């Protein structure tokens, strides 16, 4: 019996290319599995609160001046929050009131909740009064 020795020549360049393509293929498979797997923890579009669509107001009193906080809601979301009758004299007397309501409104739009709203260090008390007025208006909007 004679044995013939076979010599296999592998080029290092081919081995490196094969390893790179193999690792990219595995990475692509993991990426596809991660992106398209069903996620049981996804938040649904509906919220815990169901609202009666409309515009709801509540009154806020500052220095004998009544301001109406207007909250617009649809069936499942708070759409807008604003002052209905903020005139120039009130805005001049309370220059931080408009930025305070805008900051609170942005947080509420993002979370669709009145919980965990943070106040700026400049206007904590005014922000709390505004948040109370907003929650009063939203409570009118909650469907039974």
DSSP letter, residue 51: B
Reported as a single tens digit per residue, the pLDDT across 62-110 is 888 888 999 999 888 899 999 988 888 888 888 888 888 999 999 999 8
Q: Where are the alpha helices (DSSP H) in 7-69?
A: 12-36
User: CB of 134 within 8 A of CB of 114?
Assistant: yes
Strands (E), the chain: 54-62, 65-73, 78-83
pLDDT of residue 112 exceeding 70, the answer is yes
- Tell me the chain's radius of gyration from C-alpha atoms: 30
Looking at residue 44, what is its pLDDT? Answer: 47
Give me the mean pLDDT over the 11-20 stretch. 91
pLDDT of residue 10 exceeding 80, the answer is no
Reported as a single tens digit per residue, the pLDDT across 16-52 is 999 999 999 999 999 999 888 886 655 544 445 588 8
Task: Record the pTM.
Answer: 0.63
User: CB of 62 within 8 A of CB of 141?
Assistant: no
Give me the mean pLDDT over the 116-139 stretch. 89
């Amino acid at each position: 019996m004679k044995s013939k020795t076979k010599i296999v020549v592998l080029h290092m360049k081919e081995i490196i290319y094969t390893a790179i393509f193999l690792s990219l293929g595995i990475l692509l498979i993991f990426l596809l599995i991660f992106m398209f797997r069903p996620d049981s923890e996804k938040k649904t579009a509906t919220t815990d609160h169901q609202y009666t669509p409309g515009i709801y107001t509540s009154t806020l009193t500052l220095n004998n001046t009544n301001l109406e906080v207007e909250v617009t809601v649809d069936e499942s979301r708070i759409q807008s929050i604003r002052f209905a009758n903020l005139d120039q004299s009130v805005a001049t007397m309370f220059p931080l009131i408009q930025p305070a309501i805008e900051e609170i409104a942005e947080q509420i739009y993002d979370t669709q909740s009145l919980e965990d709203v943070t106040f700026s260090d400049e206007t904590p008390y005014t922000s709390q009064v505004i948040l109370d007025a907003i929650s009063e208006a939203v409570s009118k909007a909650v469907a039974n």
